Structure 1
Amino acid sequence: MELDFFTPVKEDLLVTDSGKLGSSLKIHLENKAFPDLEGVKIAFFGVLEDRLNEERNGEPFDFNGIRRELYNLYPGNWHLQMADLGDIQRGETVEDTFFAVQSAVNSCLKKGIIPVLLGGSEDIVYAQYRAYDGVEQMVNLVNIDSRFDLGDADKPISNRSYVGSIVVTKPYNLFNYSNLGYQTYFNSQDEIELMDRLFFDAYRLGEVTGDITVVEPVMRDANLVGLDLGAVSGGALGNYRMRSPNGFDGREICALARYAGISDKVSSFGVYEYSSEFNFPASNMLVAQILWYFVEGVNFRKNENTISAKKEFIRYQVPIEEEVLVFYKSPVSGRWWIEIPFISPSNNKLKRHTLLPCTQGDYLDACNQIIPERWYKTKRKNEI
């Protein structure tokens, strides 16, 4: 771990109550040695970068309010060791900040630690994603956001165009991109059509809030997750200066964070678009609870993403049109997967995508001769 990247947490944020979350964290403090990360499963750190925010107000911000609320929450029945590494300050250039973030996330991944980032502008997801450049498989990105953030890849990267940069910039590690909670009036028809042409997944806000369980298989297949606070309603954040009154409420956004945590594949998580405008007690408390629910999810992982676990799955075959769809069900969790034909033997990075998380509803639809849309999109991407 590059210790020079992190500035320590202020000591006046510490809590003295031994029963609260802050008392059990390994915290990088002023005038103290950097914490020993042996045995740590989750590591929090902030990234004080917002220069590529297209609506940047230029005011300084910090995460002290969030830390104060988080440290004072009571933990659940948890058994994982966690750490707070402090903050990555703005580098001389944005590229310097990105390098520090990429290095920090990559170091955590190598140690088996799940990094939980607090941002700054959401373009930091680009650096979070680039930390996966050395992994053996392609990765899936899930973005909880009211916008797709595809932008124009020919223009400089920003918090509204970082996904486009991910798609077109080598090395190509991205297998799938999923957006949860987009609001149509914030996205051009060109972007909506591009999402469809690229066989990416997009779920409108109303679709998710109508049945939040639709996101579970999407999260179960994610490797990295970014959460834009702009996806949350201004009322839920206690911030009525926000431009949009629509978005997820507090309960819904915490449920999404828990789904991300409980996914066996998610290996990094970030909450972005925090600024001085969010420095309200309600905003800080909601972000702290988002982090709490992510940790709660991690503690209840089933570890079903292993060869030995998959050997116990129950197998179902469903003839449909000219295909035979193969479904698997876990006898432990009751969760479902569908097999994707592996068509590109030359691309070893695609091997992990031969089992796609799905729902029991997808199995029942297939029994009624309806091909699951996510199966079709994933199969098409395997063919390209």
Structure 2
Amino acid sequence: MAWNEPGKNGQSDPWNRKRPGKSPLDDLLAKLKNRGGKFGQGSGGLLTGVLVLIVVGLLFSSYTIIGAREQGVVLRFGQYSRTLPPGFHLKLPQPIESVTKVEATRIRSVTDKVAMLTRDENIITIDFTVQYQVDDSRKYLFSLTDPDGTISAAAEAAVRGVIGGSDMDQVLSAAGANLVAQAQQALQQTLDGYDSGLRVTEVSFQNVAPPDEVKDAFDDVNNAREDKQSIENSALAYASKVVPVARGEAARIAAEAAGYKAERIARAQGDTDRFNLLLAQYKAAPEVTRKRLWLETMEEVMAHNTKIVDDASGRNIINLPSTPGSAPAAGTTQVGAIVPAPGSASDKGAQP
């Protein structure tokens, strides 16, 4: 046989060396082709292929990966088994166990616009939005057939119940925030009664308006209410500014009155004490006390007069020096004063 004559596989030369230009991948493909041919021959080969496919399928269905925002509900033969948190988990292969993934942290929302009747029989239109999320994945999957439709109907019923128990003014005024909280609480109680596994995160009223036929009248009422609140706020601000000033002024006047009262009482007590002392001295020495009082009185009187008439020596007029052109001081006597000499008839007549 020639050296280049092909062997049974046409891949070797007489020295049992591989021909150039052939890679190991070609050999692997040839082996797989030969084995595939064997699998296709007879019932034993077909059964082996089926078993390999089954084993591969079981291996790929024996684990699951739950996302960070998901929960996995595991069913064993169609019955609830457990709930898987986020992460990698092993499980029994299908069809023994199956996993249904639920986005538990996603915020879902339902929006609706309805016309409602208030307690005082007024029609009002409300746009409301309900935001909710899955709190229990098992209840979410098996308690409700249509979660979105159920929560939409329950939300409308809760809002109608709250609005129907309130007057129009309460709905349109600032008290509407309390109504929203009441609606959210009523909706959550309804969903808990359904065992829905849903948790309401927020209920909001986007647009609360009366019918178009009476909208202008309600706008006037709201404007008047706002004007009233503005005037009240201005009055409170003015009172907060004026009242402290008035209180301070009243305190100042009261303090001045108390000081004047204390001063007058102290001066009266001082005058009383002085008079009592003077009376004691007068009783002890009447003549001396009378003479001293006369001198002190003359000293006080003459200090305000510019002319003095001396009655003891021929009624002489004594001109006291004063500043030319100056006006007399307060209490000054313009016609002069007649000064009786001590011990004269006038003086004796003036003695007590």
TM-score, normalised on structure 2? Answer: 0.15
Q: Point out the structure with max Rg over C-alpha.
A: 2
Task: Kindly indicate whether structure 1 or structure 2 has the higher relative contact order, using CA contacts under 8 Å at least 6 residues apart.
Answer: 1
